[in-house]
Amino acid sequence: MDTILLLTILIVVGALAFDFINGFHDTANAIATAVSTKALKPRHAIILAAVMNFAGALAFTGVAKTITKDIVDPFSLENGTIVILAALLAAITWNLVTWYYGIPSSSSHALIGAIAGAAIAAAGVSALNYKGFIKIIQALIFSPILAFVIGFIIYSIFKVVFKNRNLAKTNRNFRSIQIATAALQSFTHGTNDAQKAMGIITMALIVNNYQTSDDIQTWVQVSCATAMGLGTSIGGWKIIKTVGGKIMKIRPVNGVAADLTGAAVIFGATAIHLPVSTTHVISSSILGVGSAHRLKGVKWGTAQRMLITWVITLPISASLAAIFFYILNVFF
C-alpha cells in the first residue's frame, strides 16, 4: 500500500478514535447536572446525549473549517501528514490520562495544543497561522469567563423570580425542565466538539492532495457524528462525578441555570465558527451558578484543581505532539 494512503487512513482512524474518546470524555459534562439531580437516570441520560450529539454534529461545519485552516495552513504545511498524526496521538494520550483520573480536562485544548506543537516541531514557530491561532486561543480563554458571568446572572434572576415559590414544587418542575436543557446542551456539544475531528480529517485530505478546498465532505461529517454518538453511549462516570457533585451540591434549579448557560455559550461560539472547550464552559457555568447560590457552597479546591489542568493541557499536549512527531519522523 502507498505510504501516503496508509498514513491518511491512520489519520482518519485516529480522528474517529479521538471523536469516540471525546464522546465519553466530554459528553459526561453535558449530562452531569441532570444525572446528579436525578432528573434523568444515567442510562437514559446517556441515550439522550448520544442522539443529540449525533444530531448536533450533522448540523454545522463552520468550526471544522476553522480547525482545518486557522491553526496552520494545510496547503503549505511541511511534513503535514506526520504533523497531523502526531497531534492526534498526543491529544488522544492526554484525553485518556485525564479521563482515567476523572479530571475534566479539555479535549479542545489538547487537540489545538497538539497541532501547534507538532507543527512547530516540523517547521518552527513560523508554521503557525498566528491570526487564526490567536483568535482560537482567545475563544478558549474568554468562553469560560463568559460562562461564569452568565451563569451567575441567570441564577441571580432565578432567585428573584422564584424566591416565594414552594421549594419542593419548584425543584420538581425544574427537574422536568432539566430533561430539555440536558438535551439542548448535548446538541450544542455536538455542534462544536464533533467538528474538531472533521477539521483534522479534512486537513489530512488537503495535505495529501485528496481534495483542494476546505469543504467538509459528507462522509467525513457522518463518520465523525457516528463516532461521537457511539463514544457518548459508553459514558464517562468519573467525570460526571467530578462535574456533577464535586464543584457544588446541584439542585434542579441550579442544573437548569447551568445547562442554559452552557448551551448558550457553546452555541454562540459555533455560530461564529470558533472552537471552545465544552468542559471549561460547562464547569464554569456551574461555578457561576454556585457563586450566585451560595459562595461558600462552592468547592473551590476542586475548581482550583480543574483550573491547573486547564492551564497545563496546552503546553503538555504540545510537548507530547512534538515527541510523537520526532518518533514518527524516524519511521516515515
8-state DSSP, 11: H
Nearest one of 31, 33, 19, 102 to 63, comparing CA atoms:
19
Residues 272 and 64: their CA atoms lie apart, in Å, by 12
Interval 180-223: pLDDT, tens: 998 998 899 889 988 999 999 999 999 999 998 989 999 999 99
8-state DSSP, 213: S
Interval 232-263: pLDDT, tens: 777 655 555 554 445 556 788 888 999 999 99
Q: What angle in degrees, to the nearest 10, is found between the helix axes of 278-293 and 300-331?
A: 170
Count of CB atoms situated within 10 Å of the CB of 92: 22
Please give the model's pTM, rounded to 2 decimal places.
Answer: 0.87
CA 2 to chain centre: 34
CA 1 to chain centre: 34
Residues 6+ apart with CB under 8 A from 280: 106, 109, 140, 143, 144, 147, 310
**H helices then E strands: how many in the chain?**
12, 0
What is the identity of the amino acid at 306? M
Interval 64-103: pLDDT, tens: 999 999 999 998 888 899 999 999 999 999 988 887 776 6
Checking if the pLDDT of 121 tops 80, the result is yes
Q: What is the pLDDT of residue 249?
A: 65
Checking if the pLDDT of 114 tops 50, the result is yes
Q: What is the pLDDT of residue 46?
A: 81
Start-to-end C-alpha separation, the chain: 14
Residues 6+ apart with CB under 8 A from 106: 140, 277, 279, 280, 310, 313
User: DSSP letters along 310-321, please?
Assistant: HHHHHHHHHHHH
**Is-contact 29 104, C-beta < 8 A?**
yes
Interval 136-190: pLDDT, tens: 999 998 999 999 999 999 999 998 888 777 666 777 788 889 889 989 988 998 8
Interval 319-331: pLDDT, tens: 999 999 999 998 8
